Chain A
Amino acid sequence: MIELSDVRFRWLPDAPFVLNIKRFQIKTGERVFIQGPSGSGKSTLLSILVGIAIPETGAVKINGTNLPQLKSTERDAFRAEHIGIIFQMFNLIPYLSSIENIILPCQFSQNRNAVAIGKSNNVESEARRLLSQLQLHDESTINSPAFGLSIGQQQRVAAARSLIGSPRLIIADEPTSALDLDVRQTFMNLLFNEVADAGATLVFVSHDPNLAEQFDRHIKLSDINKVNV
């Protein structure tokens, strides 16, 4: 599913490298936990995986497509098509309702739109289905602007958005760090269920090793990122 080789990256041409990954692979359907303290290049790695940042050297293959070789618009289209992303916080466009936030990816990808319609006849129903899977049923919550939601609710809506239209790869950047402990566990369970249902690959990044045990694989970023060598 994911294949990184000889990836080296720095933000500015004469700055030191922040990423230097010789070889890193994730299999299809695998749920991987990548652990690293803040500042260790986690966000940079994710930027590279989703094709927003381009490494100076090396190949980043997602499902066989080498992202650095695509044009930037093609990378954006590829991301819309194949990748769902959950941020740490501030995931939602505040003036749109939950439903509207969730169906946004379908408006940028015809395939995800088609898949969503295939599942529930239309994208709004599919969004509702995902929300109810994530235990958000309340109509007024669903239809009111996103800025009124609690952080826990926001993260569940964000998860639904990343999942709609069944993208092959879900990338999560510390999605639970703003959540309380009990809410955190519920969220993780719901996320796992949905990812399993969709048969997607999950890459989950966090500094908190306590979350790691539920994953198929636990990787320390410092083990694969050899910037200091």
Chain B
Amino acid sequence: MRQPNVIIGLSFRSLLNRKLTVLLTVFSIAVSVMLILSVEKVRQDAKLSFANTISGTDLIVGARSGSVQLLLYSVFRIGNATNNISWKSYRSLISRNDVKWTIPISLGDSHRGFRVMGTNKGYFQYYRYGQNRELNFNQGKPFDDVFDTVLGAEVAATLGYNLNEQIVIDHGIGRDSFTSHKDKPFRIVGILKRTGTPVDRTVHVSLGGITAIHVDWEKGKRVPGMVIDAEMVRKMDLTPRSITAVLIGLKSRLSAFKALRDINNFRGEPLLAILPGVALQELWGLMGTAEVALSVVSILVVVGALFGMLTMLLANLNVRRREMAILRSIGAQPLHVATMFVVEAIFIAGVSCLIGLIMFYIGMLIFQPIIEEQFGLFMPISYPSLSECFLLLSVMAGAAIAGLVPAIMAYRRSVADGMTIRN
């Protein structure tokens, strides 16, 4: 029998007859679908990008404090170290048999709001982020001289720097540093490619450079009467007395726990070693509440839109009583009549999902470059993922369930109304 087709056909005709309200409903659901897709996209890509901030590093070692704090200042350039590691301790870390490479880092100064990090050339060789990606140069090369600097992509872009320009490092951190090391300017020798990690916002100099700008300083202040200019500094021994943290790559990952235990029990001074992956998870866990809140809000928006649709369907129920009685009189079953409402709900949701998806992709095309530039968050545009398809299906299922309410009412009424047409 052709009834199912007839009923679906009638549903479409009925929808067309109510273009304006249907369009408004479709639009509100489409917007909510776009919203939930966007929120999920940002959430997942942020999580991924977060987990990809650092890779290949087996251990991070710093002075004893909290693991999240160590992760924050050594990887994310957020906050400060409470204490340093002595150069002697660093030497003994390097000499461990299981250590393959180390990247010493020294923090504490800044340049116009961007953190300055002292390190060695090993940084450009061993540092990895994302899926084992190495640092690449957009222009120039690693630092060689004491007063060479390599800029992260965002530093160069934001401040409009080019190769060979001279920059002055401010003492301490914070945008409005009172004092600067203007007697010892640095020359830009390299600019890194964008990574989408805090590396983009870092000014890299050699450890010697950090030592050099502080030779005539003591306890955060210039030593009165002591002036050692840049040329004199070059001739001095610039081995630092201490560094802030060390990134360590091991010969074998399997030895990570043993190394961790050894370093945490180091005799020379209290050290803290952390596994970056574990600390990253711990940190993400702290942000979990915000993440959940974001998801909950977007789910509520979808639910709200579906309630809007339900309201529209219910409002039409009375108007359509006549339609239902006529259909019954020509032999439609109550089930057919009820089906019309579910078909409508599913159709509205389907069109809404499609439009929402299109709006989402258009939004991505427009905002992806902006987000990458402003927040360093790279969001690849790809086909809908499994979880996105699941989201869309959930919206459809929600719509079908919402459609059941007027459908059941229509079913009951079309049975109870009998031959009378109420209007």
Chain A residues within 8 Å of B, Cβ to Cβ: 43-44, 46-47, 50, 52-53, 72-73, 76-77, 79-81, 85, 87-96, 104-105, 107-110, 145, 161, 173
Contact = CB atoms under 8 A, between A and B. Distances in A.
A47 B418 contact: yes
Contacts of A90: 322, 326, 421, 423
B1 A110 contact: yes
Interface string B325-350: 11111111111000000000000000
A157 B418 CA distance: 22
Given A43-B419, A43-B420, A52-B419, A92 B326 contact: yes
B158 interface: no
B421 A87 contact: yes
Contacts of A80: 330-332
B326 A95 contact: no
A38 B329 CA distance: 21
Contacts of A94: 17, 322-323
Given A95-B16, A107-B3, A52 B330 contact: no
A95 B329 contact: no
A79 B146 CA distance: 97
A43 B327 CA distance: 17
Contacts of B131: none
A102 to B, nearest CB: 10
Interface of B: 1-3, 6, 10, 13-14, 16-17, 322-323, 325-335, 418-421, 423
Given A43-B419, A46-B419, A95-B13, A87 B329 contact: yes
A228 to B, nearest CB: 22
Contact of A161 (B13, B330, B334): B330
A72 B333 contact: yes
Contact of B333 (A73, A88, A105): A73
A96 B10 CA distance: 9
A23 to B, nearest CB: 22
Given A43-B418, A52-B418, A53-B419, A85 B333 contact: no
A206 B418 CA distance: 18
Contacts of B327: 93, 104
Contacts of B325: 87
Of A44, A46, A107, A173, most buried by chain B (CB within 10 Å of CB) is A107
Given A46-B419, A93-B326, 17 more contacts: A50-B419, A77-B331, A79-B331, A81-B331, A88-B421, A89-B421, A90-B326, A94-B17, A94-B323, A95-B13, A95-B14, A96-B13, A104-B330, A105-B330, A145-B17, A161-B330, A173-B419
Of A44, A90, A110, most buried by chain B (CB within 10 Å of CB) is A90
B17 A53 contact: no
A26 B364 CA distance: 72
B328 A107 contact: no
A53 B419 CA distance: 8
B3 A108 contact: yes
